[in-house]
A and B are shown apart, each in its own frame.
Chain A
Amino acid sequence: MRKRWTRLASAPALVVVAVSTALPLIVISVQEIRGHDIFAIWQRPGVADALIFSLWQGMLSTALTIAFGLFPTWVLARYRFAGRSILVALVTVPFVLPTIAVGAAFLAVLPTSLHRTTWAILLAHIFFNISVVVRTVGPLWRSVDQGLIESAQTLGASPAQVYRHLLLPIARPAIISSGSLIFVMCFTSYGIIQILGGPGLATLDIEIYRRAVQLGDISGATVLGITQTLCIACAFAWWSRSQGAQFSKIEDRKSARSLNRSSRVIVFLTTAAFTAPIAALIFSSLHTRDSWSLTGWKVLLGLQDIRGLSIDLPSALATSLVYALAATAIAVPVGMAATAFARRHWIHTAVVLPLSTSPVVLGLAILITYDRAPFDFRSSRLLIPLVHAAIALPFVMRAMIAIANVIPPDLGHAAATLGASPWRRWLNIDLPLLRPALATGVAFSLAMSLGEFGATSFLTRRNSSTLPISIANLFSRAGDIPRSTGMAAATLLIFITGLLVISVDRRSYS
């Protein structure tokens, strides 16, 4: 009786994936791939190298991000200190910013000797993706009973052993789940590799762009695009299999402890690492030619008119916000329904399809799939929020599954014996317990939509520029004012995103 219902709950998620990605990919494969390209494309210079580079730098970046990310995650989850929620927002912000803005800022604070090296890429990937660890593993560690740690200590466990034998195993599902997402982000990395890696290093995503756009080889690009999607789907399926549900007592303890010496060092380092590039960005927006100037901000806010530099901030901002809200309104309920009722692993593999697909291939695929009435959605205004929602979906679901797995099933049983229907059980038990994860989901999908610059810059947009696209346009002009205005716009995007994240966190943690 309950089974049919739970299958229905994951249906919206599958529809989003099918409409936004799966169907278009099938259509483009059938229509555009020429049979001999499936093998011949790998003989072209640079193509196989791009796949290999994507794979190894993706794996290494993921491992490093988790290794470094667990330190701030622990401190942010377990300690109470002034500015904690600001720090959480601060580490989330880079994840969602257009790389063109933060990449430049990052480059500015990076020692010159590291410019255009693999090290620069790895460091940037850590910097950009650390928030996935903080936000996925954090809620789990937050719920660990202090008594559990204390009892391990009384059994003679050193801090390192507590970490190794207690905290790490507890966080395992969340670590695996965030790791798999970070792998996708790094495997498909585009802007970071371009800005920080230089032209000698190309991921598969860059090679796909090059083939489709520069060479007009849609067939070859599609083969590479499908390969990328399959590679990531396989990695994901394998990861999901190794992820067992774990049950432990969930207690929403307020992190009561104040900082000790080592955690203070971690807070300091994290703050410094994440403030420096943003500070560099703010500095560039206010400083040109050895003097301070507000011109960039004035132009951005429409207080000063510069001939030949038209930027319609209110409209770009409004467009960005409406897309972000709409994408969140799709992604969060859809993702929540799928996680709360259907804990089947293959659904988690399915929802990562949109994120793992090359934006170029996805854009072209959508274009040729929905091009006939009554399905001519190519330039429909719903398309962009739908694609944003599809991209945010795995983040929403991963954040929730980590928590959903530790809610003891007997809690729901207890509610059932008290007369709660499945719907009320979800509303009154699961939903409140999922609140931190819900907040994470909302924050991620708002932010991903606000900063998204891949697939949607590829889709045709009528009369509406988003904030990231305006920033890119400003940076494509020569001159001090376009540059400082672009820096100001990037700063503004950071603050809007940061405020959104902070306000969502407030709701969930207070």
Chain B
Amino acid sequence: MSLSIRHLSFSYNKRELLNDFSLEVASGQTMAIVGPSGSGKSTLLRLTAGLLVASHGEILINGINVSATPTHLRSVGLVFQDNQLFTHLNVFNNVAFGLKMAHQSRSAIAARCDELLNLVGLTEFSQQSVSTLSGGQAKRVALARALAPKPQVLLLDEPLTGLDDELHDRLATDLRQILQTSKTTALLVTHDLAEARTIADTITHLQ
């Protein structure tokens, strides 16, 4: 489950946000991209997820070129900076969303959701409305939701920004552990070098 990004370029409104950018993430590894805001980190994630289309270059997942594959067929998970939980669904159904899209059986969905809610420590919140969750709980739901369909690559966009120090540190450790346990190939963007060191196996700097 490796991720390769080769010679990727992207400009928006005639401003060049990425220029001939390349990276490799080995299977099961977590790479952090660190850079100041405006350096094109989020753009890189959106390109990888297929939410934006690059002007040059290609993206390979497991050696297969997915540059032209629509987002929903790419098998990438994305944890948004502001979570983007579905407010009309409860915690369970948020986590189950991707599994339902994959037409999994009811029992398989229930089992997988239980497993993930257990992993992020939210088992008893399963039937709650997501608008009643705290910041840390919401982040865990977003993470569980992204992991549930077992994406080939997990993308994390400033996942711990805006949380208080104690919660931030605890979640960073948890995240590291969850990623290791689930053997997920992950790409993390952050502006916080310490956070990157805690979570990631390798670190790349972006100017």
In angstroms, Cα B84 to Cα A84, docked, is 32
Say which one of B54-62, B67-75, B158-166, B197-205 lies at the interface with A. B67-75
B87 touching A1, Cβ below 8 Å: no
B101 touching A424, Cβ below 8 Å: yes
Contact flag A251-B131 (CB < 8 Å), given A418-B146, A421-B72, A428-B97: yes
In angstroms, Cα B146 to Cα A382, docked, is 48
Residues of B with C-beta under 8 A to A286? none
Name which of A250, A428, A432, A433 has the most chain B CB atoms within 10 A of its CB: A428
Contact flags (1/0) for B90-101 with A, using CB distance below 8 Å?
000000011011
A1 touching B149, Cβ below 8 Å: no
Residues of A with C-beta under 8 A to B70? 1, 416, 421
Residues of A with C-beta under 8 A to B78? 413-414, 417
Contact flag A411-B98 (CB < 8 Å), given A417-B71, A420-B72: no
Q: A419 at the A/B interface (Cβ < 8 Å)?
A: yes
A251 touching B71, Cβ below 8 Å: no
In angstroms, Cα B131 to Cα A135, docked, is 25
In angstroms, Cα B149 to Cα A357, docked, is 52
Nearest CB to that of A435 among chain B residues?
B88
CB distance from A6 to the nearest CB of B (A): 14
Contact flag A429-B73 (CB < 8 Å), given A413-B51, A418-B97, A419-B102: no
Q: B40 at the A/B interface (Cβ < 8 Å)?
A: no
B84 touching A414, Cβ below 8 Å: yes
A408 touching B84, Cβ below 8 Å: yes
Q: A150 at the A/B interface (Cβ < 8 Å)?
A: no
CB distance from A330 to the nearest CB of B (A): 27
A417 touching B87, Cβ below 8 Å: no
Residues of B with C-beta under 8 A to A429? 86
B84 touching A419, Cβ below 8 Å: no
Give residues 107-156 of B contacting A (CB, 8 Å): 131, 145-146, 148-149, 151, 155
CB distance from B77 to the nearest CB of A (A): 6
Contact flag A416-B86 (CB < 8 Å), given A410-B80, A424-B101: no
Nearest CB to that of B151 among chain A residues?
A417
A417 touching B97, Cβ below 8 Å: no
Residues of B with C-beta under 8 A to A411? 84, 86
CB distance from B167 to the nearest CB of A (A): 20
Give residues 395-430 of A contacting B (CB, 8 Å): 408, 410-411, 413-422, 424-425, 428-429
A418 touching B98, Cβ below 8 Å: yes
Contact flag A419-B75 (CB < 8 Å), given A410-B84, A414-B84, A424-B101: yes
A414 touching B80, Cβ below 8 Å: yes
A418 touching B84, Cβ below 8 Å: no
In angstroms, Cα B74 to Cα A252, docked, is 31
CB distance from B26 to the nearest CB of A (A): 22
In angstroms, Cα B109 to Cα A222, docked, is 62
Residues of A with C-beta under 8 A to B102? 419
Nearest CB to that of B70 among chain A residues?
A1
Contact flag A419-B72 (CB < 8 Å), given A414-B80, A424-B101: yes
CB distance from B25 to the nearest CB of A (A): 17
Residues of B with C-beta under 8 A to A410? 80, 82, 84
CB distance from A369 to the nearest CB of B (A): 42
Nearest CB to that of A432 among chain B residues?
B88
Q: B49 at the A/B interface (Cβ < 8 Å)?
A: yes
Interface size class of chain B, counting residues whose CB lies under 8 Å from the partner chain: 20 to 34
Residues of A with C-beta under 8 A to B51? 413, 416-417
In angstroms, Cα B157 to Cα A372, docked, is 63
- Secondary structure type dominating chain A contacts: helix
Residues of A with C-beta under 8 A to B145? 414, 418
Q: B31 at the A/B interface (Cβ < 8 Å)?
A: no
In angstroms, Cα B79 to Cα A410, docked, is 11
Nearest CB to that of B71 among chain A residues?
A416
Name which of A1, A411, A416, A432 has the most chain B CB atoms within 10 A of its CB: A416
B84 touching A413, Cβ below 8 Å: yes
In angstroms, Cα B70 to Cα A425, docked, is 13
In angstroms, Cα B50 to Cα A424, docked, is 17
Contact flag A417-B131 (CB < 8 Å), given A252-B88, A424-B101: no
Contact flag A419-B149 (CB < 8 Å), given A413-B71, A414-B78, A424-B101: yes
Residues of A with C-beta under 8 A to B151? 417
B88 touching A433, Cβ below 8 Å: yes
Residues of B with C-beta under 8 A to A433? 87-88
Q: Among B88, B89, B146, point to the contact of A417 (Cβ < 8 A).
A: B146
Contact flag A416-B80 (CB < 8 Å), given A429-B86, A433-B88: no
In angstroms, Cα B86 to Cα A411, docked, is 7
Q: Among A252, A413, A415, A424, point to the contact of B87 (Cβ < 8 A).
A: A252
Give residues 18-70 of B contacting A (CB, 8 Å): 49-51, 70
In angstroms, Cα B50 to Cα A280, docked, is 62
Residues of A with C-beta under 8 A to B188? none
Contact flag A419-B101 (CB < 8 Å), given A413-B71, A413-B78, A414-B78: yes
Contact flag A418-B87 (CB < 8 Å), given A413-B71, A424-B101: no
A419 touching B73, Cβ below 8 Å: yes
Q: Among B88, B131, B149, B155, point to the contact of A418 (Cβ < 8 A).
A: B149
In angstroms, Cα B74 to Cα A418, docked, is 9
Q: Among B80, B86, B98, B155, point to the contact of A419 (Cβ < 8 A).
A: B98
Q: B196 at the A/B interface (Cβ < 8 Å)?
A: no
CB distance from B58 to the nearest CB of A (A): 17
Name which of A1, A408, A419 has the most chain B CB atoms within 10 A of its CB: A419
Give the 10 A-B residue pairs with the shortest CB-CB distance, closest first.
Answer: A418-B98, A416-B71, A417-B78, A419-B101, A414-B84, A432-B88, A410-B84, A420-B101, A416-B72, A419-B72
Give 22 A-B contacts (CB < 8 Å), ordered by A residue.
Answer: A250-B87, A251-B87, A410-B82, A411-B86, A413-B51, A414-B84, A414-B86, A414-B145, A415-B101, A416-B50, A417-B49, A417-B77, A418-B101, A418-B146, A419-B102, A420-B72, A420-B98, A421-B70, A424-B72, A424-B101, A428-B101, A432-B89
* Chain A residues with a Cβ under 8 A of chain B: 1, 250-253, 408, 410-411, 413-422, 424-425, 428-429, 432-433, 435
* Chain B residues with a Cβ under 8 A of chain A: 49-51, 70-78, 80, 82, 84, 86-89, 97-98, 100-102, 131, 145-146, 148-149, 151, 155
| Known interface pairs A408-B84, A419-B98, A419-B149; 8 further A-B residue pairs with C-beta atoms within 8 A, sorted by A's residue number | A251-B131, A413-B78, A413-B84, A415-B101, A416-B71, A417-B76, A422-B72, A433-B87
